[in-house]
């Protein structure tokens, strides 16, 4: 079986959805479905079961996927090792990054990276920090960038610290939150961030918000707050160069210190030896100086 077919199986197993897998592979859904049928015919048994809810691996399919992942990973490692023998930075830099950092910190860093190392390729996954950690443990990526302070036994570098603010176009001091009828706009996040906000809120007000609106993305939350729909709690990394008519009230802990949130860069020592990864770390170091 060709490696390209094994890569298709790996993507399907990661997405467990034909439409999402087709988008990642840049093919139409019918073409992907036809390709999967051909692959399953060559194996002589179904690898996935199809339903309206998505894909489910068969017991035999689980063994095929394990084999496919092993072969694809070995091929990538061999290619990286061969490219290491050459002078220039080649290979694919595989990143998994918390969505907030992917939107507000990473673009400028990657811009410098691709300008400096035009032969390198980039594979990027964004999501909640809990999802990024899972990708790291499953060895899908070279570097993970995580919010909070995760437990990690590999290489771990501190990237940045930002503070949390209550952001609104009308509220000028924390006490005004109890008087307003406007909603508290929240965005879906990992459990540690959500719990941190909940703890602060109940410590500060000993009551629940009068009205809430929950949105999927932090950028949607921010834009709704900036346009006066309600108030939100946002990290400072998302609030650079915003309008002057927006009030930013820092969140304080029980000792009166600003509540901070750290961002960490994680990886395994073996990944940090690759040229494309070393090059990325150099760019990050230059950017943070």
167 and 81 within one domain: no
In a domain, 148, yes or no: no
In a domain, 72, yes or no: yes
In a domain, 2, yes or no: yes
In a domain, 92, yes or no: no
Give the CATH number, domain containing residue 65. Answer: 1.10.10.10
Cα–Cα distances in angstroms (integers) from residue 282 to residues 8, 140, 144, 288, in the given order: 33, 22, 16, 10
pLDDT digits (tens), the chain, 289 positions: 688 899 999 999 999 999 999 998 999 999 999 999 999 999 999 999 999 889 999 999 999 999 999 999 888 888 777 766 666 777 889 999 998 899 889 999 999 999 999 988 899 988 888 888 887 887 778 999 998 888 888 889 999 999 999 999 999 999 999 889 999 999 888 777 888 898 899 999 888 888 999 998 888 999 999 999 999 999 998 887 656 788 999 999 888 899 999 999 999 888 888 889 999 999 999 988 7
In a domain, 203, yes or no: yes
β-pairing, 260-267 with 155-168?
A: antiparallel
Count of domains forming the chain: 2
229, 233, 234, 239 alpha-carbon torsion, rounded to 10°: 60
How many Cβ atoms are within 10 Å of 88's Cβ, its own excluded? 11
**Nearest residue to 126 via CA among 262, 217, 194:** 217
Q: For residues 84 and 91, what is the distance between their CA atoms, to the nearest angstrom? A: 8
Q: Which domain holds residue 47?
A: 1-85
In a domain, 274, yes or no: no
Q: For residues 265 and 143, what is the distance between their CA atoms, to the nearest angstrom? A: 7
Q: For residues 169 and 286, what is the distance between their CA atoms, to the nearest angstrom? A: 36
Burial class (CB in 10 A: 0-12, 13-18, 19+), 206: exposed
Give the CATH number, domain containing residue 213. Answer: 3.40.190.290
In a domain, 1, yes or no: yes
Q: For residues 147 and 110, what is the distance between their CA atoms, to the nearest angstrom? A: 19
> What angle in degrees, to the nearest 10, is found between the helix axes of 106-116 and 275-288?
120
Of 28, 50, 85, the position where a domain reaches its end is: 85
Kindly report, residue by residue over 46-91, the tens digit of the pLDDT: 999 999 889 999 999 999 999 999 999 888 888 777 766 666 777 8
Q: For residues 226 and 239, what is the distance between their CA atoms, to the nearest angstrom? A: 10
232, 227, 217, 188 alpha-carbon torsion, rounded to 10°: 30
In a domain, 119, yes or no: no
Sign of the CA dihedral running 135, 140, 141, 142: positive
């Amino acid at each position: 079986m060709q490696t390209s077919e094994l890569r298709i199986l790996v993507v399907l197993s990661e997405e467990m959805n034909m439409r999402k897998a087709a988008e990642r592979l840049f093919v139409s859904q019918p073409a992907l479905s036809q390709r999967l049928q051909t692959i399953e015919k060559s194996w002589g048994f179904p690898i996935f079961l199809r339903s309206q809810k998505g894909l489910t691996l068969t017991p035999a399919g689980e063994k095929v996927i394990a084999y496919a992942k092993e072969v694809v990973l070995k091929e990538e490692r061999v290619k990286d090792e061969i490219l290491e023998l050459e002078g220039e930075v080649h290979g694919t830099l595989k990143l998994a990054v918390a969505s907030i950092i992917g939107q507000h910190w990473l673009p400028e860093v990657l811009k410098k990276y691709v300008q400096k190392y035009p032969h390198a390729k980039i594979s990027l996954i964004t999501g909640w920090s809990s999802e990024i950690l899972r990708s790291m443990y499953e060895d899908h990526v070279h570097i993970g960038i995580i919010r909070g302070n995760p437990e990690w036994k590999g290489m771990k570098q501190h990237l940045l610290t930002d503070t949390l603010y209550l952001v609104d176009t009308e509220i000028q001091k924390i006490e005004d939150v109890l008087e307003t009828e406007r909603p508290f706009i929240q965005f879906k996040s990992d459990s540690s961030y959500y719990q941190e906000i909940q703890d602060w809120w109940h410590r500060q007000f000993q009551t629940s918000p009068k009205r809430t609106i929950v949105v999927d993305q932090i950028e949607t939350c921010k834009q709704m707050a900036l346009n006066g729909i309600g108030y939100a709690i946002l990290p400072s990394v998302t609030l650079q160069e915003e309008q002057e008519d927006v009030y930013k009230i820092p969140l304080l802990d029980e000792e009166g210190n600003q509540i901070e949130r750290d961002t960490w860069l994680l990886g395994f020592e073996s990944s940090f030896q690759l040229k494309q990864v070393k090059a990325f770390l150099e760019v990050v170091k230059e950017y943070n100086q």
